Amino acid sequence: MNGFLAQQVPLSWFLLLSAALFALGIVGFLFKRNLITIFLSIELMLNAVNLSFVTFASQWHAVKGQIFVFFVMMVAAAESAVGLAIIIAIFRVRATLAVDQIDRMKR
Amino acid sequence: MNVLPLWLIPLFPLAGFLLNGIRGRCLPKWQVTTLALAAPLASFAVVLNAARRFAGMPIVETCPFPWIEVGALRIDFSFVLDQLSLVMLLVVTGVGLLIHIYSVGYMAEEKGYARYFSYLNLFLFFMNVLVLAGNALVMFIGWEGVGLASYLLIGFYFEKNSAANAGKKAFLVNRVGDFGFLVALFLLIANFGTLTFTEIATKIAACAGWQGGVITVIALCLLLGATGKSAQLPLYVWLPDAMEGPTPVSALIHAATMVTAGVYMIARLHVLFAHSPFALGIVAIVGAATAIFAATIGLAQNDIKRVLAYSTISQLGYMFLACGVAAYSAGIFHLMTHAFFKALLFLAAGSVIHGLGGEQDLRKMGGLWKKLPVTFAVTTVGVLAISGIPPFAGFYSKDAILYAAFVQGPGGMALWLVGAITALLTSVYMFRLWYMVFLGKPRSEDVHPRESPWTMLGPLVALALLALGGGWIGIEHFSSFLAPSTGPLSLEAVTPHLERNLSIAAVGIALLGWLIAHILYYAKPSAPATLAGAAPRVYKLIAHKYYVDEIYSAVLVKPLLLFSRCFLGWVVDGAILGGLAWLLAALANLGGMILQRWQSGNLRSYAAWIAAGAAALLLYALVPWNALWPLSLDTLLKGMGH
């Protein structure tokens, strides 16, 4: 993000985009049944947050925000590795990825 | 070399208790025995070392850290070795050692061998703490501890219902006494601000004219405690039942050492009693009354151990009588000789019971002197000693007490008369026991007596020597030795004729008792039955121990039980506490049932709740509440803060 973009596009647009992406992530998380899709929704929410981080970093000329983004990406990578492993394990056992049927813990 | 540290004395039995109590079940028997005997032996050795080096000045040993520190009150964990505690320690560890050795033979066949010895060591630990205590609170620890050990050992055969009940009875009756002791401790703190014996003495000495008042109250509370532990009227009822324990326990705890703790406590705090003639008088009356009361009961008991139990109560009464006439050293003297001869008598009784395979009924014994020659010989020494026949130990101490009572004036002469009658009764029932057990013809065919092993006879012989020679030191030497801790024995009007005449009278009384017992239980065996038939009511009254147990049961125990069961049990526990508990449980159950619906197990519903929560927080952060509503949450919280 450089000075040109900052002059051309107002801050609120970035934030609105970020909020829209986050809301999409939440909606996907809540309404999708497939575990993989839910997983993708989580990634979407993380990246929406990342977008707002870099927006503010550019706005306030603070590098902290960008550092945070790197952290979030790192954690997200680790999380997706673990998450995918869990999903595969669940699929092997249950032969389904529909979350409504994966409620074994309750019983 | 200096005196070894005092804390070693209780430490060894404590170590013995812990080792045998924790590991004893898994150890072979000889190791249990070694551990159990090493503890009192080591303690006794330390005490002997201390006695040899003791130079007359009290040795005070205080834990470097304060134990209790509240405001101006500071209580240290301190031990004191002075003349009084030295004598007590010698008796406790010495007699304790002998009884430990005896127990090895007596308990050899019993289950729970290690348990028995761990309890016995525990008792010795607490007794040493009690005796060594430098202040009343440390003494209280020992006091309660010996009560615990006594409870455990009375109920040693806990499979037997009567033994379990006897243990409970002893514990509960002692609680009544301990209540008195505790109140006395509180009053001491409130009025003197200290519990240290020496400081109490200095504070009392500072105001010479201080008499009666609160000191009387404290002294009477202490007396209540002493009557509980030392089995005096009205709290003596637990001691006869305590005979359910093994016989060496009866000898050590319920005759020689623990029950004398009350006497020791009074002697230790004699400065309080010295400033309250009223309390002192009560002590003397309690002692004299108990002495004669228990002696009459002892006449008509048929269980060998119960005869000895009532005799113990009676002899403790003598010690209280001595304390009551301010002859503390005479009381301690009798305590010492009594420890020797009563331990001897109990252990000899144990040897008889052991030899007869558990028989305790006097009416089934008889003619045993041929079969149990050593036991017979040592019992004879014990009987002569307790009856007060010179040159045996009991004569010297009993004589000193009676003399000290006699010189107290008219009231003292009444006490002397009671003491003299008690001496007569003592002589009668002890020789009755002697005749019934050892002389005459065997009354039962199916007894096959065998003499006890040497582990039992050895201590018996040692105690017999002590019961023979324990009094030869003489009251003059003894009291002048004890004078720094118990005050001098003031026997005014010391006229040699009076003392000699009283001694002759005492011996005459003892011999008269022997003669009566000889006629009734040897020369004319039918006479007791005739006598009992002549006054059936009196006999029945005595044989039933004056119905004291029945009266206590009707007046105290039954109403208390009724109150507990009906009011406390049904109303308080059942309705109020139970109802409250039920209500709480029902509320929790209801809450659980409602909240349970949340835990649907559906991942998406959880996520929805998270989203809803986040949205709510966001809403709270975004909406300008102050503008919408003047009384915002912030102002509300602030208002509560003020």
Per residue in B201-222, pLDDT (tens digit) is: 888 888 766 666 888 999 999 9
The two structure tokens encoding residue B237: 């009822």
Please tell me the distance in Å from B617's CA to the nearest CA on chain A: 16
Closest chain B residue to A103, measured at CA: B601
Q: How many CA atoms lie within 13 A of B188 on its CB side?
A: 28
pLDDT at residue B310 tops 50: yes
pLDDT at residue B443 tops 80: no
Determine the Cα–Cα distance for residues A105 and B192; give it in Å rounded to an integer: 68
* pLDDT score recorded for residue B262: 93
Determine the Cα–Cα distance for residues B496 and B498; give it in Å rounded to an integer: 6
Nearest by CB to A99, from B599, B603, B611: name it.
B603
Q: Which residue has the tokens 């125990």?
A: B557
- Contact indicator for B256, B322 with CB cutoff of 8 Å: no
Q: How far is CA B539 from the centre of its chain?
A: 30
Determine the Cα–Cα distance for residues B246 and B347; give it in Å rounded to an integer: 10
Closest chain B residue to A30, measured at CA: B604
Could you tell me if residue A23 is inside a domain? yes
Could you tell me if residue A16 is inside a domain? yes
pLDDT average, residue stretch B51-58: 84
* pLDDT score recorded for residue B365: 84
> The domain spanning residue A91 has which CATH number?
1.10.287.3510
The two structure tokens encoding residue B293: 């009361």
Determine the Cα–Cα distance for residues A5 and B550; give it in Å rounded to an integer: 105
Cβ burial of B537 (10 Å; 0-12, 13-18, 19+) is exposed
Please report residues of A whose CB lies closer than 8 A to that of B603. Answer: 38, 99, 102-103
Per-residue confidence band for B446, with pLDDT thresholds at 50, 70 and 90: low
| Contact yes or no for B611 and A105 at CB 8 A | no
Per-residue confidence band for B475, with pLDDT thresholds at 50, 70 and 90: confident
Cβ burial of B1 (10 Å; 0-12, 13-18, 19+) is exposed
Nearest by CB to B608, from A30, A99, A102: name it.
A30
Please report residues of B whose CB lies closer than 8 A to that of A29. Answer: 604, 607, 611
pLDDT at residue B1 tops 50: no
Task: Give the number of other CB atoms < 10 A from CB of residue B442.
Answer: 15
Radius of gyration of chain A (CA): 17
| Contact yes or no for B600 and A106 at CB 8 A | yes
Query: What dihedral angle (degrees, nearest 10) is formed by the CA atoms of B240, B244, B246, B249?
Result: -40
pLDDT at residue A106 tops 70: no
Tell whether B597 is within 8 A of chain A (Cβ).
Answer: no
- Buried b vs exposed e over B107-130: b needs ≥16 C-beta within 10 Å? beeeebbbbbbbbbbbbbbbbbbb
Closest chain A residue to B612, measured at CA: A26
Could you tell me if residue A100 is inside a domain? yes
Task: Give the number of other CB atoms < 10 A from CB of residue B212.
Answer: 13
Please tell me the distance in Å from A93's CA to the nearest CA on chain B: 18
Determine the Cα–Cα distance for residues B403 and B400; give it in Å rounded to an integer: 5
pLDDT at residue B98 tops 70: yes
Instruction: Taking each helix axis as running N to C, give the angle between helix B475-486 and helix B83-106, from 0 to 180 degrees, rounded to the nearest 10.
Output: 110
SS (H, E, C) B224-252: HHHHHHCCCCCCCCHHHHHHHCCHHHHHH
pLDDT average, residue stretch B549-554: 87
Report helix, strand or coil for B551.
helix
Question: Angle at Cα B402 formed by Cα B401 and Cα B405, nearest 5°?
Answer: 85
Please report residues of A whose CB lies closer than 8 A to that of B608. Answer: 30
Determine the Cα–Cα distance for residues B329 and B483; give it in Å rounded to an integer: 8
Chain A residues with CB within 8 Å of chain B CB? 26, 29-31, 38, 99-100, 102-103, 105-107
Cβ burial of B510 (10 Å; 0-12, 13-18, 19+) is buried
| Contact yes or no for B601 and A29 at CB 8 A | no
pLDDT in tens, A16-74: 999 999 999 999 988 888 989 999 999 999 999 999 999 999 888 889 999 999 999 99
Amino acid at B503: S
Determine the Cα–Cα distance for residues B47 and B8; give it in Å rounded to an integer: 9
pLDDT at residue B468 tops 60: yes
Please tell me the distance in Å from A2's CA to the nearest CA on chain B: 30
Question: Angle at Cα B227 formed by Cα B218 and Cα B270, nearest 5°?
Answer: 45
Determine the Cα–Cα distance for residues B431 and B516; give it in Å rounded to an integer: 9
Of the candidates B266, B264, B286, B174, which has an alpha carbon nearest to the alpha carbon of residue B219? B266
pLDDT average, residue stretch B434-457: 80
Whole-Å CA distances, B44 to B12, B150, B252, B258, B301 = 10, 21, 15, 17, 36
Please report residues of A whose CB lies closer than 8 A to that of B601. Answer: 103, 105-107
| Total residue count of chain B as it appears in this document | 642
| Contact yes or no for A29 and B604 at CB 8 A | yes
Range of the domain at A13: 9-106
The two structure tokens encoding residue B482: 């004890």
Amino acid at B587: L
Please report residues of A whose CB lies closer than 8 A to that of B607. Answer: 29-30
Please report residues of A whose CB lies closer than 8 A to that of B604. Answer: 29-31, 99-100
Could you tell me if residue A1 is inside a domain? no
Per-residue confidence band for B391, with pLDDT thresholds at 50, 70 and 90: confident
Share of chain B above pLDDT 90, in %: 46
Could you tell me if residue A28 is inside a domain? yes
Tell whether B596 is within 8 A of chain A (Cβ).
Answer: no
| Contact yes or no for A99 and B611 at CB 8 A | no
Tell whether B611 is within 8 A of chain A (Cβ).
Answer: yes
Tell whether B410 is within 8 A of chain A (Cβ).
Answer: no
- Contact indicator for B448, B379 with CB cutoff of 8 Å: no
Please report residues of B whose CB lies closer than 8 A to that of A105. Answer: 601
Could you give the residue ranges of the DSSP H alpha helices within B356-495?
373-387, 393-406, 410-438, 454-469, 475-486
Could you tell me if residue A3 is inside a domain? no
When divided into structural domains, chain A yields a total of 1
Query: What dihedral angle (degrees, nearest 10) is formed by the CA atoms of B514, B520, B524, B529?
Result: -170
- Higher-pLDDT residue of A43 and B55 is A43
Q: Which residue has the tokens 């230790």?
A: B268
Beta bridge partners of B62: B78
Could you tell me if residue A47 is inside a domain? yes
Amino acid at A57: A
Nearest by CB to A99, from B599, B604, B611: name it.
B604
Determine the Cα–Cα distance for residues B310 and B237; give it in Å rounded to an integer: 10
Query: What are the residues whose beta carbons fall under 8 Å from the beta carbon of B642, sequence distance 6 or more?
Result: none
Per-residue confidence band for B630, with pLDDT thresholds at 50, 70 and 90: low
Q: List the single best residue of B603, B609, B610, B618 to mutate versus A (max A Cβ within 10 A).
A: B603
Of the candidates B603, B599, B622, which has an alpha carbon nearest to the alpha carbon of residue B611? B603
Closest chain B residue to A105, measured at CA: B601
Could you tell me if residue A72 is inside a domain? yes
Closest chain A residue to B600, measured at CA: A106
Closest chain A residue to B609, measured at CA: A30
pLDDT in tens, B490-547: 665 556 678 888 889 989 999 999 999 888 888 887 777 787 788 888 888 888 888 8
Beta bridge partners of B374: none
- Contact indicator for B196, B137 with CB cutoff of 8 Å: no
pLDDT average, residue stretch B241-251: 90
Q: Which residue has the tokens 């019971």?
A: B353
Q: pTM to 2 decimals?
A: 0.77
Nearest by CB to A106, from B599, B604, B611: name it.
B599
Per-residue confidence band for B369, with pLDDT thresholds at 50, 70 and 90: confident
Q: How far is CA B291 from the centre of its chain?
A: 17
Q: How many cross-chain Cβ pairs, A to B, lie less than 8 Å apart?
A: 25
Please tell me the distance in Å from B585's CA to the nearest CA on chain A: 24
Determine the Cα–Cα distance for residues B282 and B598; give it in Å rounded to an integer: 74
User: DSSP letter string over B146-212?
Assistant: HHHHHHHHHTTSTTSHHHHHHHHHHHHHHHHHHHHHHHHHHHHHHHHS--BHHHHHHHHHHSTT--S
- Contact indicator for B59, B112 with CB cutoff of 8 Å: no
Nearest by CB to B601, from A26, A38, A103: name it.
A103
| Contact yes or no for A106 and B604 at CB 8 A | no
In sign, the C-alpha dihedral spanning B26, B29, B30, B35 is positive
